[in-house]
Chain A
Amino acid sequence: MSLRPDLKLIADLIEPGSRVLDVGCGDGALLAHLDAEKQVDGRGLEISQQGVNASVGRGLFVMQGDADNDLAEYPDASFDYVVLSKTLQAVHRPRDVLLELLRIGNKAVVTIPNFGHWRVRMSLLARGRMPVTKSLSKAWFDTDNIHFCTILDLFELLDAENIKIARFVPHTKTGKELNTGGLGANWFADQALFLLEN
């Protein structure tokens, strides 16, 4: 089973045997991988019926719901890791969601598409219109992605909320890690992974 490169980066951070909640788990690919390879006690939260059915068919346990509305129902510290993969930009209240992740989980793994990437910046500069790229393929009025941020934006928010960054992994679309600090990453990383702790 080959795992999407960005999910592989997440999987590598998870300790075997831990309790994992994957928020926006899609078809359950990450959880199934973690279940098979790391014997985690995994749970999912997924809004689409298609995703729920695919996950359940894999033997996973998934609640239909989303990050904005359903995290409040989970007890404090009920998971070792809560994963939010490329979803933060699509929630209504990203700040509240981040705090919820770290209430429910001892650690949170958050990945974001980086709106500060040079191609996005060039596109906005040259075309004067909201960038539409392969990974951000919908027009501004149509997109589910309503709260885009750059890597530096997220650093700033985490700092303001006193959230500790245990790992920062800027990477390309193919999951290649970039050996650079925040400023360089903000120009050159398509995506970034943050391992967060209280």
Chain B
Amino acid sequence: MRGNVGHTASLFKDEPLALDSGAILSPVTVAYETYGTLNKACNNAVLICHALTGDQYAASKHPITGKPGWWERLVGPGKLIDTAKYFVICSNVLGSCLGTTGPWEVNPKSNEPWGLDFPVITIRDMVRVQAALMDNLGIEKLFMVIGGSMGGMQVLEWIATYPERLVSAVALATAARHTAQNIAFHEVGRQAVMADPNWQAGAYYGKQQKPDKGLAVARMTAHVTYLSEDALTEKFGRNLQARDAVSFGFDADFQIESYLRHQGSAFVDRFDANSYLYITRAMDYLDIAGRHEGRLADAFKDAANVRCCVISFSSDWLYPTTENKAIAHAMNAAGVRVSFAEINSPHGHDAFLLEEPEMDAMISGFMGAAAAAEGLEP
């Protein structure tokens, strides 16, 4: 999937990217979008990290779906992340499928699409690629790195890996490790993809059929984890789909079934099944404290200079408050300047993408104070 994907940069051409797995990649193509203008001092750059199935189109129209950017609510001229003031960058993560190197891309050694020969990647590998993109764009230090869910995981890896390159960091609805439950849901999704006969051990590129059914089921399962029970009850309850009574069959009798089927089938048009396997694996492998004998605080010990903000949502059971609070406490214990709050919200994990006035107020205050401390014009 490299049609019209906006800007691209070719990185790691001379010096290959050394992955956590021990494998190396060269070159690495990164597709990215930018909004606003980098100022002369190069101190107004904001990197937005996207979630599992997100992409670089944070604040502009998606080239496949035609839908508005996934964070247009927050990013744009005069908005919370004001593109009249900040230079905003959002890049497609390593392993994904909207222009950045991933399993769909042709392996330069074999001249065939990588498929399962693509090396397994980690969240930190994604961040290494983003750091190289910043080098490429001439940005030594980011005013802010921000992201929710898997985007928040990247934010944490930025803080742990490149603290000297950050002024501030905002992690939303995230975790510093995947729990057994997190891994379990991802495994269900991967098994759904792999059980689809069209998957063919990942070698479906160029074939007539893709593992759409499996990927759709994976998406349906995951989508449930992004919502709260209250949100589902309020939106769908036991409402029937365009009928007065149950059909005593296996049609989508209930609205929730119809909704999930739609989510699944819409997803396969814009996402690659192998990318889904690789990125979910990267998330499962995340255990930042694991690199420090279980002491998360040690991962943040060099980040005393970074102004941090961690936010959770009360109805998020995928990356619940306990996980987010543990991150903030670890930062505190490491002497990192961190603010934390649990926003009261009925919207479940997806709350970070939705209208949440208290979240907006907290981020806005945090950014304003950081900008003032950094001497950026208000």
Contacts and interface: CB of A to CB of B under 8 A. Distances in A.
Given A64-B340, A64-B341, A74 B361 contact: no
B28 to A, nearest CB: 36
Given A49-B343, A63-B328, A75 B333 contact: yes
B361 A53 contact: yes
B344 interface: yes
B36 interface: no
Contact of A59 (B332, B333, B343, B372): B372
B279 interface: no
B342 to A, nearest CB: 6
Contacts of A59: 369-370, 372-373
A73 B332 contact: yes
Interface in A35-62: 43, 49, 52-62
B365 A63 contact: no
Contacts of B338: 61, 63
B254 interface: no
Interface in B340-358: 340-344, 358
A91 to B, nearest CB: 19
B369 A64 contact: no
A56 B333 contact: no
B337 interface: yes
Contact of B332 (A43, A52, A54, A60): A43
A64 B339 CA distance: 8
Main secondary structure of the interface of B (DSSP, over half): helix
Nearest to B335: A78
A39 to B, nearest CB: 14
A56 B168 CA distance: 13
B332 A63 contact: yes
A195 B341 CA distance: 29
Contact of A62 (B339, B344, B361, B373): B339
A49 B314 CA distance: 12
Contacts of A52: 339, 341, 362
A56 B372 CA distance: 13
Interface string A136-164: 00000000000000000000000000000
Contact of A74 (B325, B332, B340, B358): B332
Contacts of B340: 62-65
A74 B339 contact: no
A53 B358 contact: yes
A73 B365 contact: no
A27 to B, nearest CB: 11
A182 B374 CA distance: 49
B332 A56 contact: no
Given A61-B338, A61-B339, A63-B332, A56 B365 contact: yes
B309 interface: yes
B333 A61 contact: no
A65 B338 CA distance: 13
Contacts of B325: 65
A56 B339 contact: yes
A49 B328 CA distance: 16
B119 interface: no
Contacts of A65: 325, 340
Nearest to B373: A59
B361 to A, nearest CB: 5
A57 B368 contact: yes
A58 B339 CA distance: 12
Contacts of A62: 339-341
Contacts of A74: 332-333
Contacts of A53: 341, 358, 361-362, 365
A49 B364 CA distance: 14
A75 B298 CA distance: 13
Contacts of B333: 73-75, 78
A82 to B, nearest CB: 13
B108 to A, nearest CB: 47
Nearest to B360: A53
Nearest to A49: B358
B159 to A, nearest CB: 14
A194 B333 CA distance: 27
Given A43-B337, A57-B365, A63-B328, 13 more contacts: A49-B358, A56-B339, A56-B362, A57-B361, A57-B366, A59-B370, A61-B338, A61-B339, A63-B329, A63-B339, A64-B341, A73-B332, A74-B333
22 contacts: A43-B332, A49-B341, A49-B358, A52-B339, A53-B341, A53-B358, A54-B365, A56-B369, A57-B361, A57-B364, A57-B365, A57-B366, A57-B368, A59-B372, A61-B337, A63-B328, A63-B338, A63-B340, A73-B332, A73-B333, A74-B333, A75-B333
